[in-house]
């Protein structure tokens, strides 16, 4: 399981405004370490599942591993 805690500003505005699922049961999307797309010009993150576990796109690029692109968050 992945547990997500939502963050809000003092005025109750959510920090995460959108979460888009990329891979779906009928359509899996795999990317190499050099093919991980930027999210909203660097303002968001990708979540991937790799042979080394679940990690962000930035971590996967740094380790040089690709995997299944699960979702994008911004």
- Digits of tens for pLDDT over the chain (74 positions)? 778 888 999 999 999 999 999 999 999 999 999 999 999 998 999 999 999 999 999 999 999 999 999 999 99
CB 19 within 8 A of CB 71: yes
User: Could you say which architecture CATH assigns to the domain 19-73?
Assistant: 2-Layer Sandwich (3.30)
Look at residue 5 in the predicted model and tell me its pLDDT.
87
Domain ranges, ordered by start, for the chain: 19-73
Q: In terms of residues, how long is the chain?
A: 74
DSSP class of residue 22? -
Supply angle C-alpha 62, 27, 6, rounded to 5: 55
Q: Is the full-model pTM beyond 0.85?
A: no
């Amino acid at each position: 399981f992945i547990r997500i805690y939502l963050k809000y500003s003092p005025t109750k505005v959510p920090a995460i405004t959108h979460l888009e699922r990329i891979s779906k049961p009928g359509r899996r999307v795999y990317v190499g370490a050099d093919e991980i797309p930027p999210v909203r010009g660097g303002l968001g993150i990708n979540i991937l599942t790799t042979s080394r576990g679940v990690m962000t796109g930035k971590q996967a690029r740094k380790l040089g591993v690709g995997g299944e692109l699960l979702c994008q968050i911004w």
